[in-house]
Amino acid sequence: MDPIVVGVIGLVAFLVMMFLGMPVSFSMMFVGAAGIIVLKNVDSALQVVVSDVLSQFTSYTASVVPMFALMGYLAGCTGIGTGLFDLAHKFIGHRKGGLVIATQLACALFGAICGSMPATVATFGTVAYPEMKKYNYDDEISTASIASGAVLAVLIPPSLWLIIYGSMTENSIGRLFVAGIPGGVILLIAYILVIVIWCKKNPSIAPATRRYSWKERFSTITKGGLIEIIIVFLLSLGGLFAGWFTPTEAGAIGAAGMFLITFIEKKLDVPKFKKAMIDTIKLTAMVYMLLAGGTIFGKFFAISRFPAWLGNVVVDMDMPGWFVLIIIVIIYLILGALMDEMPLILLTIPIFYPIICGTYGYDPIWYGVIIVIVVGTGSIAPPVGLNVFILKGLIPSVPIGTMFRGIWPFVIANTAVCILLIVFPNMITFLPKLMYG
């Protein structure tokens, strides 16, 4: 059988298995192994499975996942997210839409130590929404600000999605982290502009809260989480960007720093620490299995020559690179609204990465940030916006239709930022080039 046909059959088989409910990692692993058996032999397939599973679970590069995950879970279970929201609330909550903007700022700061979208939704769904409800904020803008703000957590480093992208494509995680900073800041500004315009058109949806005195504002700094964020950021990501240590070492320093800070301030007890460790183990096991499955699936695709064939087809059609990129972005937006984001990244990297960064020569660091923004858009867009459904589970009193109605302005903001960064790629690449050359 023609290898390319086998590749297409394998892709269809994987999608069928995934939608039937089989775990994504095992679907990728099974299809990849079966495809290699068809194209090579049983011994080759077994060798690939064993070596890839072992290499992923013993990889020094992949060990960055549990380090940053532990740092994020320690932060989440010790109430730092509450302190960040309280800090932003007291400084800008007295303005119209102030609590919504405070939520965005708190999500961005929380993302700097967490890097997890579900954790960010869960934290601010329980912290920010009750406060906005207390001041009669409209449910549409309240829930939408939380669901969209969580996208910042997977763009601003340390980002789990950028770690997975870097591991799958063998690109520098440090460069990807640096590139995520301007992308995250631009997206944060776009969200704030959406909120300002929305509140300008309809001031009643987000009334101002009471104004706090400067003494009350500054007293929050010492107990609101800002100092912890600065210390952890300087210890981990600051040291990484300065070249003092590797991403894995940065994660270890960050996790140790977060443990010491929360322990000294008596925010950490044995049950919370145990929960953080268990959650870290679960997340790490899931990510490692996904990476192992994705690697096996990618090798099957490479043997089938399907990506190379697809790249040649695109080149023969004589389409400009920007047009191909737009088509791929549209595919990501559609798939992102229909399936979970992490499997989507793992599935599409072996297909689209060789075309965009190989055939057309686009910067892989820039492409990684673009993909995270586009897939993040899918995490909030109907009909399967993961963030919205997580939030619905936390706030069952708000109809899902209300949440999705409020999310559309933020979906538009994501799309606008994506277009801006495609047209002006230097907005992302200038910082990695400045720091790494």
Q: Are 206 and 141 in contact (CB under 8 A)?
A: yes
Q: How many CB atoms lie within 10 A of CB 59?
A: 16
Highest mean pLDDT among 25-29, 58-62, 129-133, 191-195: 191-195
Number of domains composing the chain: 1
Please say if the pLDDT value at position 317 is more than 60: yes
* Structure confidence by residue, pLDDT tens digits, 320-359: 878 888 888 888 877 776 667 777 787 788 888 888 888 8
Q: What is the pLDDT of residue 132?
A: 84
300 to 11, 261, 291, 303, 354: CA distances (angstroms): 10, 46, 14, 5, 14
Question: Is residue 305 over pLDDT 70?
Answer: yes
List, for residues 257-298, the tens digit of each pLDDT value: 888 877 777 777 888 888 888 888 888 888 888 888 888 888
Average pLDDT in the chain: 82
Contact status, residue 330 vs residue 348, Cβ threshold 8 Å: no
* Distance between CA atoms of residues 114 and 137, nearest Å: 27
In this structure, of 126-135, 184-193, 331-340, the range with the lowest mean pLDDT score is 331-340
| pLDDT value, residue 210 | 76
Quickly count: other Cβ atoms within 10 Å of residue 289's Cβ: 19
Give 437's contacts (C-beta < 8 A, 6+ positions apart).
none
pTM (predicted TM-score):
0.81
* pLDDT (0 to 100) of residue 382: 79
Q: What is the CA radius of gyration of the chain?
A: 22
| 118 close to 101: Cβ distance less than 8 angstroms | no
Structural domain harbouring 366: 3-436
